[in-house]
Structure 1
Amino acid sequence: MDVVSDAISAVRIGQPSSNRLRVGGSWCTRLAPYEGAGFHVVLAGGCWLVPDGGGEPVTLGAGDVVLLPHGAGHVLADAPGDTARAVPFEEMTRPAGGGREVELLCGKYRLDHTRVHPLLAELPQVVHLPNRVGAHPELRSAVDLLAREVDERRPGACLALPSLLDLLLIYMVRAWMTESATGSWPAVLSDPVTTAALRALHSDPAAPWTNDRLAAEAGVSRATLARRFTVLVGRPPMAYLTWWRLTLAATRLRDTDAPLAAVAREAGYGTPYALSHAFSREFGVTPGRFRAGGSSSSR
């Protein structure tokens, strides 16, 4: 697994959901904050997105894609003016009428925000990816395929649509990494030494890694690896490995009924006791309580 795939897989819960919105004339709707990530694809027409908290309004045109990776509340409207007129999204049932017709695919991804990978954590509240000719062709292809599935509802659409929505999420994150001028993780994944080390850790997190072994895998000295990895990632290689192992263990506890011994082994801990000790120190609860739904910290 690569870092982006792992980062998404560790927090994703269940299948994404989506709704088609077609309106016209004067309209304004509010989408409440959500424990996950929201997205919109403009299939036809155009509108405005106004983030909660006084953020700058964003104008959206046909083919544009917008991701709200932290589930921020926002308003969609025909104009960026008075948002007090907004009605809840669930009540936007009236047909289009008058003015320019707007058609959107609006959806949500269910995400577990208790252990968000730093790559996803640094995404801004709103990621706007305009429909520019030649930019991100894979994203454009996913949008085109989504539009067809939404329109035609052909046999197999119940499987095709959520799969395409998952693909859309990956392409949106990729596009942001390509265009980001401020994020640190695009720089992390463009550095060959750090990328080689991360690829090794994510490919086999249970291996008996040491700084020397990881440096050999990356083809540099231990000091060089420690310096570059720590500066770019924000923590030393072995600290990152511990964090990632415990994140994997938490995901397995959340998503499966695997015995604790199996979870410990897959996460690189020799015994259930060793995992329990590290897990309790990091999360503030035992693995058993975590699996049962007990409270946890998100350090």
Structure 2
Amino acid sequence: MVDPLAEVVSLLRPRAPFSKVVVASAPWAVRRTEMGRPFYFVVLEGSCQLTVDSAAQSDTITLNAGDFALIPAARSFATSSLDRLPPRAGEAVTTPITAIPGGARVGDPEGAVDVRMLVGNCVLGSPDAALLVPLLPHWVHVRGEPRLSTLVQLLADETRTDRPARDIVMARLLEVLLIEALRSTASTAASPGLVRGLSDPKLALALRLMHAKPAASWSVVQLAREAAMSRSAFFARFSRAVGVTPMDYLQAWRMAIAKQLLRQRDVAISEIAERIGYSSVSAFGVAFTRHVGIPPGRYAKGELNET
């Protein structure tokens, strides 16, 4: 059986070349607005709060030493010390920030350090990132994972030294840490998305079937039967855990496969349509255009300028 998370992560091609060390002294708070880029936090020492904003709500998470947090498409979030309420969106934040070698000092420059973090942006090498990132949770928080804790300790050690090739080693460790966090489904706290869906054995079976046989004429009834659930219970549980309906997820995955094949330019559109479950080129073309924004033929010629 295929591994859906491994397939998505492989297509995303994540890298973590940008990082900086942040040390802070309570009380402190920082609010940031990003352009939908992935943002991560590795807590090396101490504790703090992370608040992730979404259209529906704001989630506040306590991060402790050894924890890893990832926002796959960060737009608005805040970090703060434990002794104050996280700043709300639009609230003015006046905590002083001072540049230090390799990072920033937040709060009173003379105060006791209460948290030390490695933070930064990830880079997704796939031009399909905008299509694939919605399959991931809004945020991921991993704690108590021995393998991940080992990686955090190695990163912490690298930040304190000036060994040869330090930046290369840190970038590679961060890439492994990112993948390890995404696959730690059993012990990962996450908002709705693929990670949470895979942590549910019945939903995981349905997700693996969709990835293994994208061309099959799946229906909610068939997937519910495979998961040994009623149609209504399966639909509600899948939508709640993954954040989209089963058919919306299936279409997103089919379109990701189609885009990958179209970029190869050596597979006929008719064959691509057949591989992902469309009975005709015209039906595939309508679905692809609606989902991606241009017809498959134009996409194959590289006419879409993706970010």
Normalised-by-shorter TM-score class: 0.5 to 0.7
Letter in 2 for 1:107: G
Q: 1:103 to 1:244 in 2, by over 3 A?
A: same
CA distance in structure 2 between the aligned counterparts of 1:141 and 1:226, rounded to whole angstroms: 42
Q: Is the 8 A contact 1:211 1:222 kept in 2?
A: no
Aligned to 1:115: 131
Deviations along 1:15-48, one digit per CA (max 9) or x if unpaired, are 2233222445576554332322211112134445
Aligned equivalent of 1:98:
110
Q: Does 1:37 align with 2:42?
A: no
Give unmatched runs, 5+ long, in structure 2: none
TM-score, length basis structure 1: 0.66
> What residue number does 2:265 align with?
258
In 2, Cα distance between the equivalents of 1:77 and 1:237? 37
Matched, 1:178 2:178: no
Partner of 1:16: 16
Higher mean displacement: 104-113 or 37-46: 104-113
Q: Report if aligned partners of 1:41, 1:143 keep a CA contact under 8 Å in 2.
A: yes
Q: Find the residue that maps to 1:100 and give its secondary structure.
A: coil
The residue type equivalent to 1:3 in the other structure is: P
Alignment match, 1:65: 68
**Corresponding residue for residue 233 of structure 1:** 238
TM-score by length of 2: 0.65
Higher strand share: 2
Distance change in 2, residues 1:277/1:59 (3 Å): closer
What is the rounded CA distance, in whole Å, between the counterparts of 2:32 and 2:254 in structure 1? 35
Q: Which residue of 1 aligns with 2:289?
A: 280
Whether the 8 Å CA contact 1:280–1:286 is kept in 2: the answer is yes
Which sits farther off after the overlay, 102-111 or 186-195?
186-195
Change (3 A) 1:141 1:280: same
Aligned to 2:156: 147
Alpha-carbon offset, residue 192 of structure 1? 4.8
Partner Cα separation in structure 2 for residue 294 and residue 145 of structure 1: 38
RMSD: 4.6
Query: Deviation at 1:185?
Result: 5.6
Alignment of 1:190-229 (within 5 A): 192=201, 194-205=203-214, 208-210=215-217, 227=231
Q: Does the CA-based 8 Å contact 1:46-1:60 persist in structure 2? A: yes
